[in-house]
Amino acid sequence: MKMFNLKFFPKLGLFIYIFIYLISPKLAITQNTNVDIRRNLENALNTRNLKLIKNIFKEDENFKIQEQFKEIIKDFPNSTWQIKRLSVENSKEKIFNIKVNGNKIFNGDKYFLESNFKYLFSIQNDKIKNGKIKNLLTTIRNDQNKIDIIFRIPEKVLTGTKYDIDIILNEPLGDVIIAGGIISHLEDSHLKQEINIEPLASGGIFKTTRASSKPARQIWSGVISHPKGTISFTKSVEIVEKI
């Protein structure tokens, strides 16, 4: 059995942490002056403008956000953010679709980051309220997209119900030996656990789990090792009382 420690791999847990803080409910919006929060947030991230980020966030969060932002930029210096508004301008609930891409040479291999998620929020007294990240999927891979992989992990499930997690390699394996592992952890937490990497008898990771009895947001992180490369992933699942 092999141990896979993500703190020595590009920081999956850190990405979740950063995304949550960069678009947290403490992000200020001034509607009266027609400030475009989508554009300001996207510009601040893409230009590495710490001063603008400082102006966006409340004073008690500035230092923490800037330090964590510097860390993610250190991992992927050329990362880019794309933010699209999915909701109509006058809707009560606002929705952004956020996509992050980047790449980095790590131990001689080139790793590619891709992350997609939706951010839902409302506005009260010119500030974002009740911000929620949904349908997060982040991958970091060095296979040059040669591995045809499918992630079948639900976006939301009912409390107390069983659900399946399937990460499928959609190609004949033949004599190819693959290995992998997966763990779950709480939202907003750093991923400090080690992932047990074991040979996979089938073409991927297949797991059945049960949702918690109360609404929550569960984060699944894992890795698949293949002769063509390595793919690590993080996916969020929202546990709700009704769908």
- The pLDDT value given to residue 22: 38
Overall domain count for the chain: 1
Q: Parallel, antiparallel, or unpaired: how do β-strands 216-226 and 109-124 relate?
A: unpaired
Can you state the angle between helices 12-22 and 59-75, rounded to 10 degrees?
140
Using alpha carbons, select from 211, 222, 116 the residue that is nearest to residue 168. Answer: 222
Instruction: Indicate the Cα dihedral angle 47, 50, 52, 56, nearest 10°.
Output: 120
Q: Over the stretch 147-193, which tens digit does the pLDDT of each residue have?
A: 999 999 999 999 999 999 999 998 878 888 899 999 987 665 555 56
Model confidence, pTM: 0.77
Residue 146 has pLDDT above 70, yes or no: yes
Q: Over the stretch 56-107, which tens digit does the pLDDT of each residue have?
A: 654 554 565 567 677 778 888 999 989 898 877 667 777 889 898 999 998 8
For range 113-128, the mean pLDDT? 74
Give the range of the structural domain holding residue 221, as residue numbers without chain letter: 2-240
The residues pairing with 183 across neighbouring beta strands, listed in sequence order, are: 221
**CB atoms < 10 A from the CB of 144, how many?**
11
Distance between terminal CA atoms of the chain? 39
